[in-house]
Structure 1
């Protein structure tokens, strides 16, 4: 390991495996020194830290840095370089920093962190050095996420007695530069306008100064090369429980179960939650008993509809090491669970979503990446990560429960990866014959709420204040061309009313026990 001590502006000392190195940096920026060290020691791990943090480094933890594909940092009593207002233009989960757990975020810090020299060199010709080391690290991390770099705030880099609450910068100066570098002029203008609208602030000098800043050529940067796990060379180790909620899709479900029965690595059990709102009805899934299945089937029949409740009933019955949360209308290749087993053994994730496209659709992702979403019908989660988590029933029969569950996982320190090499086909089967729209308590509101209160509830529950406002701005702009009112002032007045109605109901949902 290479340890780089700095004072915030320039390198102070460098050591390798505990031995000082005599290297001449000539007052270089810390970011330039990082690239120099990576070129000199391409097979090492580079650890950086501010000289003020040195006494509190958790060296025992740092020396066990496990994965070449990861980048860690922790702010350690120092504010982040990015202002919270950047949430106006970045509503992703990676902007929602969490203290106390390992959390996926591009909000890096110069206080302490580490990265594989090999991974750092991957970006050398694309990421410019910067005198602001914090800003350099943030740009590197945000650029790297889509290319396969997994970036985290990791509080264990600092000894437990020294933990602190993470905080954003109070100054938007570097935020302008970050947006210009990472997102371009359009989003820079969007940021400035919202800063003026919502905060009554505008740094015109910094805005003008940021326009000439060159954006990172994201498309030119290659993805990390990842070889799909070779299940033929891995001895099966994982036991899977499969969870499927179903309602009125007897024949489609049978095909999905048949695919599961033909797996080269069979699931330990299938936890099937069948729903029918007709209180006089009984199960229509006669083939569960009339046919022989090569795994245990735990079948629950309920008259209470709703995917959240159904999945919660299933989660209460999990016994295997891992859970595969599946939809009832999937085509599953015979080697699917075998490949999932191999991936888990190779990468040691705690949760991941897989490719689930309709026939003919093309998978856009080229490598395994950190995923800002969560698919409750196409995801694997380690059972130990699920013990205290359940789908929020306040979001039942709406939208937003998937995103909410994903954020619940992240807030406990569980990252969600996306594996494009594990592929399902989503049939998008028609709804069952006894499905009907569920009446919502806000259906009689006038004007109607916009967005759906369940969606807004999930956003308000997890997002930063600026992210909520940024979502509102984008919603208003996108919806304008889809509705009939073309007078912009009349449109804004109406949408403000609809937003207010939605927010009232969202808060009621969040207060539902």
Structure 2
């Protein structure tokens, strides 16, 4: 392991396996020194830290780092270089950093962190060297995320992390540079306009200066290679419970069960929650008893509809090591669970979503990477991670419950990966015959809410203040071309009213618990 000690501007000392290295940096920036060390020692792990926190390093934890595909850092009471206002243009879950857990985020810090030298060299041709080391690390992390680098804020890098407070910068200078480098000029303009609209601030000089910055050529950067063939010859050791809520799809569900019965690695049990709002009805799934199935089926029949409630009923019955949350209209390859088992043993995730496309669609992703979403119909989660996690019933019969469930996981330190090599076919079957629209308390509002209150409730629950404002701006802009009012002033007045209606009901949902 290579230790790089710096003072925030320049390298101070370099050690390898505890011994000082005599390397000539010629007053290089810390970021340039990182690239030099990575090229010189490609098989090592590079640890950087500010000289002021050397005594706080958790060396025992650091020296056990073995995740070559990961990058860790922690701010340790130092403000992050990015301003909270970047949430105007970055709506992702990776901007909602959590202080007390290992959290997936590109918001890196020069205070302390580490990365595999081999992974760092991968980006040398594409990432510019910055004198601002914090900014360099953030640009590296955000660029790397889409290519398969997994980046985290990791509080265990230092001792007494429970006392640490993570905060954003009060200066937007580095934020302008980050947006120009990572996102491009149209996002710079949108950022500046919102900074003026919501914060009454505008830095025309910095905006003009940022326009001269060249964006990173994201498409030219190769992905980290993860071959699905590497996952085959692993002895199965994991037990899976499968969760499927269903409503009025008897024949489609039967095909899904047949696919499960043909798995090379059979599930331990299928937890099936059947719903029918007709209080005089009984189960229509006669084949559960009339046919023989090679796994246990725990069948619950309820007159209460709603996927959130159904999945929560199922989660209370989980006994296996891992849970697969599935839709009732999937085609599942026979080696699906076997490959999932191998992936878990190889990559040691705690949660991951798999490719779930309709017939004829093509998977465009090329590597395993950190996923900003969560698919409640095509995801695996380690059972131990679900102990205090449930679907929010306040979001029932709406949209946003998947995103909310994913954020609940992340806030406990569970990252969600996306695996494009594990593939399902989503039939998108028609709704069952006895489904009917569920009346919402805001259905009679005039004008109607925009966005749907359940979506806004999920955003309010987890997003930063700037992200909420940025979501509102982007919603207004995107929806403008889809509606009939073309007078922009009339449109804005109407959308403001609709937003206020949505905000009222979203807050009511969140306060209804």
| Mapping of residues 407-418 of structure 1, within 5 Å | 407-418=407-418
Kindly state the Cα deviation for residue 203 of structure 1 after the two structures are TM-superposed. Answer: 1.0
In the alignment, does 2:492 pair up with 1:489?
A: no
1:502 aligned onto 2:481: no
Q: 2:271 maps to which residue?
A: 271
2:50 and 2:511 map into 1 onto residues whose CA distance is 43
For 1:74, the equivalent position in structure 2 comes to 74
**Residue correspondence of structure 1 range 307-326 to structure 2 within 5 A:** 307-326=307-326
Q: Deviations over 1:247-273 (max 9, x none)?
A: 000000000000000000000000000
Q: How much has 1:233 moved relative to structure 2? A: 1.3
Displacement, 1:338?
Answer: 0.0
CA deviations 1:13-65 (Å, max 9, x no partner) are 00001111111111100000000000110000000000001010000000011
Q: CA deviation at 1:163?
A: 3.6
Q: Distance in 2 between matches of 1:15 and 1:162?
A: 29
Aligned ranges 1:360-399 → 2 under 5 Å:
360-399=360-399
Asked whether 1:173 is paired with 2:196, we answer no
Would the aligned equivalents of 2:450 and 2:495 in 1 still touch at CA under 8 Å?
Answer: yes
User: Does 1:235 find its partner at 2:208?
Assistant: no
- Equivalent residues of 1:75, 1:111 under 8 A apart: yes
Q: Deviations over 1:95-146 (max 9, x none)?
A: 0010100000000000000000000000000001000000000000000000
Q: What is aligned with 1:26?
A: 26
CA offset digits 1:209-260 (Å, max 9, x no partner): 1000010000000000111154541111000000000000000000000000
Aligned to 1:287: 287
Contact 1:109–1:138 (CA<8 Å) still a contact in 2?
A: yes
Q: Secondary structure, in 3 states, of the residue corresponding to 2:228? A: coil
**Rounded Cα–Cα distance in structure 2 between residues aligned with 1:173 and 1:133:** 14
Q: Aligned residue pairs: how many?
A: 513
Residue 52 of structure 2 aligns to a residue in which SS? coil
Check if 1:338 corresponds to 2:372: no
Contact 1:74 1:108 (C-alpha < 8 Å) held by counterparts = yes
Aligned counterpart, 1:143: 143
Asked if structure 2 preserves the Cα contact closer than 8 Å seen for 1:229 and 1:342, the reply is no
- Tell whether the 8 Å contact from 2:155 to 2:161 is kept in structure 1 after alignment: no
Q: Which shifted more, 400-409 or 58-67?
A: 58-67
Q: Quick check: 2:86–2:191 contact (8 Å CA) kept in 1? A: yes
Other-structure match for 2:472? 472
| Corresponding position of 1:195 | 195
Q: What pairs up with 1:94-105 in 2 under 5 angstroms?
A: 94-105=94-105
| Structure 1 residues 295-306: aligned runs within 5 Å | 295-306=295-306
Map of 1:4-43 to 2, 5 A cutoff? Answer: 4-43=4-43
Report Cα offsets for 1:282-312 as digits up to 9, x if no partner: 0000000000000000000000000000000
Instruction: Tell me, in whole angstroms, the C-alpha distance in 2 between the residues paired with 1:311 and 1:167.
Output: 36
Q: Contact 1:245–1:311 at 8 Å: present in 2 too? A: yes
SS in structure 2 opposite 1:140?
Answer: helix
Q: TM-score, normalised by structure 1?
A: 0.99
Q: CA RMSD in A?
A: 0.7
In 2: Cα distance, 1:144 partner to 1:37 partner: 19
Q: With the length of structure 2 as denominator, give the TM-score of the two structures.
A: 0.99
**Which residue matches 1:87?**
87
Alpha carbons 1:82, 1:172 under 8 Å: kept:
yes
User: Partner of 1:233: helix, strand, or coil?
Assistant: coil
Identify the residue that residue 450 of structure 2 maps to in structure 1. Answer: 450
Q: CA deviation at 1:162?
A: 6.5
User: Are 1:214 and 2:204 matched, yes or no?
Assistant: no
Q: How far off its partner does 1:161 sit?
A: 5.6
Q: Are the counterparts in 2 of residues 77 and 166 from structure 1 also a CA contact under 8 Å? A: yes
Contact 2:325–2:378 (CA<8 Å) still a contact in 1? Answer: yes
